[in-house]
Chains A and B, each alone.
Chain A
């Protein structure tokens, strides 16, 4: 089964004409959050306008193949390499990161980093958002992750529980198309509905995972007085596997194939391209284009691309957002633009945890709690790398099929950060640029050629094991996104300024992770090659030891949800406390990032919020009288149904 991106969908809406339309909802951002909300609102008969900052033709087959060609041809194959550089809607790139020295922020790239800690975290500003380049691991959060303050006195509590979110996790797993087995994913309090199965069966562990499991399974680890045994566990994955006939009470599941192309070969099932990040060449991996293409089948969904939101206008008397002013650029790389306005009953900022607060703050909306942009979170990644005693055939499979999740939760979180561990099927790629760096070293420094080179490559590359410890970072108001008129992009939009430091709580988890990696390598009989470079941009010293810390692209926390308007920005429905028709959705709403990759939780939260939006739309049927202060406009018309 596949869905075509409707011909001309990115162009069928005349931007100028939309200014005369009152939409039920105006959504900023065409990523997974915006796509899910657009699909659910339009399915209920509501009209939607999506404003996408990036160019909009990329969900056609031609557009997708353009991404692939750009990737194949790129000399640097980093996680943004397939995606066009658009000066009018710039995006961060992993290769931007620079060491920050006290007192001199790094403004050389799109995100201005004022430190003290530098990060290479990224997001992708194209239609489909960061799900174009995401790896598609989809673990649920643990029940304890929602109650961190109460249980462990660290971080914040959610206004929701795991049980509140569980039905939406089910729905998110259907929307994304998750491959996993319930028996592998039931641990540390995560439970599933009676009889629940995932849409598709779990992907098999890689041969590398199996080699690690042989020695690691059953390894005892004592922490905070509790002994547990480690186990290599498969990750749930947002990519197509073998449909589970027991899904949905025996009705089964039909995988969603590639957008705009029919895949004869294996029905869109993951083929092991080992390239989830930065782009799955066959779209076996979910991207939000799948949801968007389906939503755009409806005439109720309008999309304006090349539309960068510039200002959120509010009416202080009614405490409502009146319109979003945006800059519609003519060409990706030339400065010409038209200022336009989008009107709606509801406004939904679904950009991401950096762009949402950036837009609010650039509009002068700091929030009555003063927390807009504060509590920025990401995962702190620590890598450890070694050579296994035997050839494991590294560099095969999806980027990551298995990991160790036993230290995601527990009482030790009173003292130190939890983490999950990825076993990387792509070897030392992330840590040291393997295998190209191995090739260069063997040829240039090692003098290898011919047979000796081939032997050397197998010896050096096919035995690689890289563990990635994804360490939680708790909310801290000092870690924040701000703006400053001194820093703007080509379109005149204020750029995000990031102030970020890694707390000791996280560093204790990092230090523990490094010790654990040594034990794991010793148990495997592996040669530890981990070495942290003091000149690395993300070098951090804790208790006399230095570590390389990397960003996780798992952005969270900048418009945190809560029960109390004085200590949060949005409520449990992701509705802004200050403006009753404004929703800020996505990772920014999360009070803890914990040890889950954020996208599944973002999707679940948005599915839940879509219900609240529909309830609000149905309750607020009064005519909205909007008059534009900026220009003489005809009175907005309801969009044709």
Chain B
């Protein structure tokens, strides 16, 4: 595992999850997640996924600071999400970050790309469930861990206003 591919995996993960790099590093699991994807799908798939993401970023390069969001969205859909080989893996990376679990890929995928280990559903570590981003996204604790404290449930949830927009339409 090179330091370079780890940085690229983080950058990909930021785009996929909408959590910042510090949040992702803060789980303490980023290295293990990259290793998990490698173990499940093989080095070739990881390299291709990171390469496709690099290309998508290049497509969307606006000014030097940040990419054009609309162009990036389109590039990710075209280069990654709609790709037979990379799409399912990218979606699994999202679920890995959000749920702390690797969801087994279907036999069509594993047969085609010869990575049978990818078919097995498994947790990465006992901690990965607790670090799932899903719980942070809904301003709740992972059930059974990170308790918020007595009576906290009587208060409104602390969800950032920008995520409430759709809900209150």
Give A392 to B139 CA distance when docked, in angstroms.
Answer: 11
Q: Which of B1-9, B34-42, B107-115, B149-157 touches A? A: B149-157
Q: Which of B24-32, B43-51, B59-67, B122-130 touches A? A: B122-130
Find out whether the CB atom of B166 lies under 8 angstroms from the CB atom of A443. no
Residues on A with C-beta less than 8 A from B139 are 393, 396, 462
Knowing A266-B150, A401-B153, the reply to whether A395 touches B140 (Cβ < 8 A) is: yes
Find out whether the CB atom of B152 lies under 8 angstroms from the CB atom of A396. yes
Give A279 to B143 CA distance when docked, in angstroms.
Answer: 10
Knowing A269-B150, A397-B153, the reply to whether A449 touches B168 (Cβ < 8 A) is: no
Which residue of the partner chain, among A281, A395, A440, A459, contacts B167 with CB atoms under 8 Å?
A459
Find out whether the CB atom of B141 lies under 8 angstroms from the CB atom of A206. no
Q: How far is the CB of B153 from chain A (nearest CB, A)?
A: 3
Give A602 to B85 CA distance when docked, in angstroms.
Answer: 57
Find out whether the CB atom of A273 lies under 8 angstroms from the CB atom of B154. no
Give A392 to B91 CA distance when docked, in angstroms.
Answer: 28
> Is A451 an interface residue, CB under 8 A from the partner?
yes
Within 8 A of A (CB), among B153-169: 153-157, 159, 162-168
Find out whether the CB atom of B147 lies under 8 angstroms from the CB atom of A396. no
Residues on A with C-beta less than 8 A from B151 are 203-204, 272
Knowing A204-B154, A458-B166, the reply to whether A281 touches B147 (Cβ < 8 A) is: yes
Within 8 A of B (CB), among A206-231: 206-207, 210
Knowing A275-B143, A282-B147, the reply to whether A454 touches B163 (Cβ < 8 A) is: yes
> Is B16 an interface residue, CB under 8 A from the partner?
yes
CB-CB nearest in chain A for B129: A72
> Is A444 an interface residue, CB under 8 A from the partner?
yes
Find out whether the CB atom of B15 lies under 8 angstroms from the CB atom of A450. yes
Residues on A with C-beta less than 8 A from B90 are 449
> Is A581 an interface residue, CB under 8 A from the partner?
no
Q: How far is the CB of B169 from chain A (nearest CB, A)?
A: 9
> Is A391 an interface residue, CB under 8 A from the partner?
yes
> Is A254 an interface residue, CB under 8 A from the partner?
no
Find out whether the CB atom of A281 lies under 8 angstroms from the CB atom of B95. no
Find out whether the CB atom of A463 lies under 8 angstroms from the CB atom of B167. yes
Q: How far is the CB of B158 from chain A (nearest CB, A)?
A: 8
Which residue of the partner chain, among A210, A435, A439, A461, contacts B154 with CB atoms under 8 Å?
A210
CB-CB nearest in chain B for A270: B150
Residues on B with C-beta less than 8 A from A275 are 143-145
> Is B94 an interface residue, CB under 8 A from the partner?
yes
Q: How far is the CB of A219 from chain B (nearest CB, A)?
A: 22
> Is A447 an interface residue, CB under 8 A from the partner?
yes
Which residue of the partner chain, among B148, B155, B168, contacts A390 with CB atoms under 8 Å?
B168
> Is A491 an interface residue, CB under 8 A from the partner?
no
- Interface SS majority for chain A: loop
Q: How far is the CB of A95 from chain B (nearest CB, A)?
A: 14
Find out whether the CB atom of B143 lies under 8 angstroms from the CB atom of A391. no
> Is A205 an interface residue, CB under 8 A from the partner?
yes
Find out whether the CB atom of A440 lies under 8 angstroms from the CB atom of B153. no
Residues on B with C-beta less than 8 A from A540 are none
Residues on B with C-beta less than 8 A from A394 are 138, 140
Find out whether the CB atom of A69 lies under 8 angstroms from the CB atom of B163. no
Which residue of the partner chain, among B101, B153, B163, contacts A207 with CB atoms under 8 Å?
B153
Find out whether the CB atom of B141 lies under 8 angstroms from the CB atom of A461. no
Q: How far is the CB of B19 from chain A (nearest CB, A)?
A: 8
Interface digits, A229-245 against B, CB 8 Å rule (1 contact, 0 not)?
00000000000011000
Residues on B with C-beta less than 8 A from A449 are 15-18, 76, 81, 90-91, 94
Find out whether the CB atom of A72 lies under 8 angstroms from the CB atom of B148. no
Find out whether the CB atom of A273 lies under 8 angstroms from the CB atom of B164. no
CB-CB nearest in chain B for A390: B168
Find out whether the CB atom of A444 lies under 8 angstroms from the CB atom of B91. yes
Residues on B with C-beta less than 8 A from A435 are 134, 138
Residues on A with C-beta less than 8 A from B166 are 455-456, 458-459
Count A interface residues, CB 8 Å.
Answer: 59
Residues on A with C-beta less than 8 A from B117 are none
> Is A530 an interface residue, CB under 8 A from the partner?
no
Find out whether the CB atom of B153 lies under 8 angstroms from the CB atom of A206. yes
Q: How far is the CB of A280 from chain B (nearest CB, A)?
A: 8
CB-CB nearest in chain B for A444: B91
Within 8 A of B (CB), among A419-468: 425-426, 435-436, 439-440, 443-444, 447, 449-451, 453-459, 461-463
Which residue of the partner chain, among B18, B138, B153, B164, contacts A272 with CB atoms under 8 Å?
B153
Which residue of the partner chain, among A72, A282, A439, contacts B126 with CB atoms under 8 Å?
A72
> Is A186 an interface residue, CB under 8 A from the partner?
no
Give A174 to B92 CA distance when docked, in angstroms.
Answer: 49
> Is A71 an interface residue, CB under 8 A from the partner?
yes
Residues on B with C-beta less than 8 A from A396 are 139-141, 148, 152-153, 157
Find out whether the CB atom of B145 lies under 8 angstroms from the CB atom of A273. yes
Q: How far is the CB of B65 from chain A (nearest CB, A)?
A: 18
Interface digits, A252-288 against B, CB 8 Å rule (1 contact, 0 not)?
0000000000000010011111110001011000000
CB-CB nearest in chain A for B18: A450
Give A625 to B150 CA distance when docked, in angstroms.
Answer: 56
Give A72 to B91 CA distance when docked, in angstroms.
Answer: 23
Q: How far is the CB of B151 from chain A (nearest CB, A)?
A: 5
> Is A73 an interface residue, CB under 8 A from the partner?
yes
Find out whether the CB atom of A461 lies under 8 angstroms from the CB atom of B94. no
CB-CB nearest in chain A for B152: A272
Q: How far is the CB of A281 from chain B (nearest CB, A)?
A: 5
Give A443 to B91 CA distance when docked, in angstroms.
Answer: 6
Residues on B with C-beta less than 8 A from A205 are 154
Residues on A with C-beta less than 8 A from B127 are 72
> Is B99 an interface residue, CB under 8 A from the partner?
yes
Find out whether the CB atom of A274 lies under 8 angstroms from the CB atom of B141. yes
CB-CB nearest in chain A for B104: A75
CB-CB nearest in chain B for A447: B81
Give A266 to B130 CA distance when docked, in angstroms.
Answer: 21
Give A68 to B127 CA distance when docked, in angstroms.
Answer: 11
Give A395 to B135 CA distance when docked, in angstroms.
Answer: 9
Q: How far is the CB of A180 from chain B (nearest CB, A)?
A: 15
Interface digits, A380-404 against B, CB 8 Å rule (1 contact, 0 not)?
0000000000111111111001000
Give A398 to B141 CA distance when docked, in angstroms.
Answer: 11
CB-CB nearest in chain B for A395: B140
> Is A16 an interface residue, CB under 8 A from the partner?
no
Give A588 to B162 CA distance when docked, in angstroms.
Answer: 53
Find out whether the CB atom of A75 lies under 8 angstroms from the CB atom of B123. yes
Give A74 to B123 CA distance when docked, in angstroms.
Answer: 7
Residues on B with C-beta less than 8 A from A398 are 153
- Having A393-B157, A436-B134, A459-B167, one finds 5 other A-B pairs with CB under 8 Å, namely A72-B144, A271-B150, A272-B147, A396-B157, A462-B159
Q: Which 3 A-B pairs have the closest CB atoms?
A: A393-B157, A397-B153, A271-B147
24 A-B pairs in the complex with CB atoms less than 8 angstroms apart: A71-B144, A74-B123, A207-B155, A266-B150, A272-B153, A274-B143, A281-B145, A393-B159, A395-B140, A396-B148, A396-B157, A397-B154, A398-B153, A435-B134, A444-B91, A447-B81, A451-B18, A453-B18, A454-B163, A455-B167, A456-B166, A458-B166, A462-B157, A462-B167
